[in-house]
Amino acid sequence: MQSQSREWNSSVYHRLSGPQVSWGKKVLSRLRLRGDEVVLDAGCGTGRLTAELLEVLPAGHVIGVDISQNMLQSAREHLLAQFGSRVSLGLVAADLLDLPFRHAFDGIVSTAAFHWVLDHDRLFLGLRQALIPGGWIEAQCGGGPNLVSLRTRADGLAATAGFARFFAGFHEPWLYQDAKGAAGTLLRAGFVDVETSIEPAPTVLGDAQEYSEFVRNIILRRHLEQLPTEDLREEFMRNLTAQAAMDQPPFSLDYWRLNLRGRVPDIE
């Protein structure tokens, strides 16, 4: 059995991450910045939102952190082309569960990343320790009943005779907290003025090809890694795509987002 990989197909993610970018822009629109802050983009991916952050911090500094070398390489290419050497010092390969920062940031932004980290107590403790007193976090990730409909179909298919042996011992790679659970996690980590909420973000993809590429590379990449041949991976995706074609509207994804906000006390 293959081990679960940290890597993504970053060029596909960069091309197809329109939904994530539009949700992320809404998160960034909530920031009230002076323009000179030092901000961490936690789980920056290919840097499409890191670029937006850099635009609103003309006198500040942004550090993008990600665990995937492919994602960071894409981010490096795109951000260097757009912003020059300002960005090259700001991209760091690290696990969000083991951040190499203490009291370093005025703020932390994160979009579409935290649900990939299964230990939220450790995650938010490390994030709080990376902030200066008075520092803030403004973030969003998957939460609540995120993608229940697709996940139910994937689980059902994985349990059928042709696939079950490849999924023995497999667990979903995400943690989808609800608003109350997430607030508790932030408070336990030492954040104050905590606000959390869940919102629906239904998303409809254009056609069968886009749906299949998106689901395979962005949502179910860890599921597909369980399958040892391309024929099996194609069969798995063909089945899910055929089911999605029958939905109303076709090729829809039942996304839900968890918004998270908090602040470190001024004096720790």
Ligand X SMILES: C[S@@+](CC[C@H](N)C(=O)[O-])C[C@H]1O[C@@H](n2cnc3c(N)ncnc32)[C@H](O)[C@@H]1O
Q: Which stretch binds ligand X (CB under 6 A): 78-86, 108-116, 150-158, 227-235?
A: 108-116
Q: Strand pairing partners for 111?
A: 140
Where helices occur in the chain by DSSP H, the ranges are 10-16, 18-28, 48-56, 69-83, 120-130, 148-158, 179-188, 208-214, 221-225, 230-245
Q: Does 71 bind ligand X (CB under 6 A)?
A: yes
Closer residue to ligand X (CB): 45 or 262: 45
Q: Does 53 bind ligand X (CB under 6 A)?
A: no
Q: How many residues bind ligand X (CB under 6 A)?
A: 22
Among 66, 106, 138, 225, binds ligand X (CB under 6 A): 66
Binding residues among 3-42 for ligand X as defined by CB under 6 A: 8, 17, 20, 24
| Own/partner pairs, 247-250, CB within 8 angstroms, 24+ separation | 249/204, 250/204
Q: Does 259 bind ligand X (CB under 6 A)?
A: no
Q: Which stretch binds ligand X (CB under 6 A): 81-89, 110-118, 124-132, 231-239?
A: 110-118
Binding residues among 76-105 for ligand X as defined by CB under 6 A: 95-97
Closest approach of ligand X to the CB of residue 160, in Å? 28
Q: Which residues of 147-171 are buried (b: 16+ CB within 10 A; e: fewer)?
A: beebbeebeebbeeeebeebbeeee
Residues 6+ apart with CB under 8 A from 125: 189, 190
Among 39, 40, 44, 253, binds ligand X (CB under 6 A): 44
Residue 16 Cα to chain centre, angstroms: 14
Closest approach of ligand X to the CB of residue 137, in Å? 14
Closer residue to ligand X (CB): 8 or 176: 8
Binding residues among 117-136 for ligand X as defined by CB under 6 A: 117
Residues 6+ apart with CB under 8 A from 252: 202, 203, 204, 205, 244
Q: How far apart are the first and last CA of the chain?
A: 46
Residues 6+ apart with CB under 8 A from 73: 10
Among 19, 37, 48, 226, binds ligand X (CB under 6 A): 48
Q: Does 219 bind ligand X (CB under 6 A)?
A: no
Q: Please report, as ranges, the residues that interact with ligand X according to CB under 6 A.
A: 8, 17, 20, 24, 43-45, 48-49, 65-68, 71, 95-97, 111-113, 116-117
